[in-house]
Amino acid sequence: MYFHSINLSSLEYYFKKWPEFYLLVFLCFLSIRLYLKTKNQVLVHWPIVGTLPSLIQNAHRIHDWTVDISNSFGGTIVRKGPVFGSFEILFTCDPCNAKYILSNNFSNFHKGLGFEETFDILGEGLLGVDSHFWLAQRRIARMTFNSKKVRNIIANTGQKVVQDALLPLLAHVAKQSSVVDLEDVFLRYTFDTSVSIIFGRNPNYLSTSFPSNKFAKAMDDATEAVFYRHIVPSSWWKLSRRLMIGSNERKLKKAWTTIDQLLTKYITAKREDMAKGTEESDLLQVYMGLKEGEKNDQLLLKMSGDKFFRDTALTYLFAGRDTTASGLAWFFWLVSKNPCVEAKILEELKLVFSKNTKGEYGLTTKKCPWVFDADDVTGLVYLHAALCESLRLYPSVPLIRKGAREDDILPDGTVVKSEMMVIISTYAMGRMEWVWGKDCLEFKPERWIDEDGKLNHDILSKLISFSLGPRVCIGKDMAFVLMKLAASAMLFNFHVEVLEGQNIQPTPSITLKMKNGLMVRIRERVVL
């Protein structure tokens, strides 16, 4: 009926005045026909706009879309980009190609065109730069994180937050018989541990009152805004940033201001502490206390200023908070669906508990919430394997973005052109039958353990959740320690019951968070 109400004389007017109107009508007609024909197809290259319609159509399920693409087209494909076909995108989930890009021929693959501008909030931290400045930072970061002092800071801080905040909060929830979003709990846990490790100050975000925190809120808003920049054409978000229009860029600017204000406060306070001669007890103080001989002379001034400490601290916060929290959330969801895995982890924990107590409790139940220390969790082979298996299926960083400096050829024969955008899907890789076997969708920690009951290093090499090669995550060991400290204490002292009927799926984001959280009930566990 709407069609019949159109004034045909008006259409005639447009056709006569603007002959180009014929072309517009034709393109609209062609687009509608193409959409109706291809709406159920996984990936379609449209005239003019390239793959943009397919990207927008699947933006809400972008990670599962990468699995569909891989199953439909193979482990590696090349397509025109989503912005008027002006560039090409190489997409791969092939482990051999990923290893070649990230490790074997690392020097030819940089962060990619526009990466630094897209992630401009990070400044010149380790995650945001590729230059000689990155090499100097990397050397210092490796030296710092490998030091016994920093390892002790991480282990002691994690254990303290678990004992003083995480377990009391869970005991409170259990006593109240209330429902809690476990992913939110883990985000609070990793925020408190990260801020404490970096600045030596606990924000107490993990509290029974579930307080708000403007620093954590600003980080969430910034992460969301940066992800949005990957969905829309770069010309649009850059224009929005310049004119400060649209909610996304305004949200990012506000978050940026909040983050800078709070980081300035922390850095100033730390300089005051050091002036008083306080003992090194956090990562920032260790960095500030580095001697000149431990730095690159040419970059000494740059690496001693507040801007450097701001970028470094923020990089570690972004790298450590969301990734570790999401890893824990997916782990507990998978364990809840696999009681046999939970039972095996408990058996492993009981052995460590019995060894540590040396019969102190006899045959009675444990007297209080028990917290395992860093030495305890280091030897937990099955727990480590279960975490690896969780990260295989739900990697904290589901997509890795790169760019090629020069033309290249990948191990599978795919030709890479210079400045081509390269996307590695670690999420799709974990779901490929030709990579992991017919049981690729099953949660099987045993696949990571060899015949001698030790971790299988050949299989471990296929886990690229923390990247590979020169850019492998500096905080990988830190992340595993914090995850193991939380997971061991929680599983040993409590039973996590996931509420039925939840729609558990990944949200479109840089880190693999859950779209609707993870609602659970907590019950105290009696361990004999």
Residues of each annotated binding site for heme:
473
**Which residues fall within 8 angstroms of residue 341, CB to CB, at 6 or more apart?**
334, 335, 386, 443, 445
- Per the annotation, binding residues are 473
Which residue, among 430, 215, 6, 92, has the nearest Cα to 14 in the 3D structure?
A: 6
Alpha carbon of 8 to those of 15, 27, 111, 171: distances in Å?
11, 20, 54, 72
Beta bridge partners of 402: 422
State the Cα torsion 191-192-193-195 to the nearest 10°: 80
- Read off the tokens for 216: 């954590």
Q: How many residues does the chain have?
A: 528
- Measured distance CA(34)–CA(42) in Å, rounded: 14
Q: Can you tell me the distance from the alpha carbon of 205 to that of 216, in angstroms, rounded to the nearest whole number?
A: 9
Residue 187 CB-density burial (10 A; 0-12 exposed, 13-18 middle, 19+ buried): buried
Nearest to 292 by CA among 303, 281, 284, 282: 303
3-state secondary structure 451-469: CCCCECHHHHCCCCCCCCH
How far is residue 314's CA from residue 279's CA, in Å, rounded to a whole number?
Answer: 23
| Phi, psi of 449, deg, nearest 5 | -115, 135
Kindly list the distances between the CA atom of residue 390 and the CA atoms of 64, 134, 278, 506, in Å, as whole numbers in the listed order: 16, 31, 41, 14
Residue with tokens 């508990």: 353
> Taking the CB of residue 240, how many other CB atoms lie within 10 A of it?
19
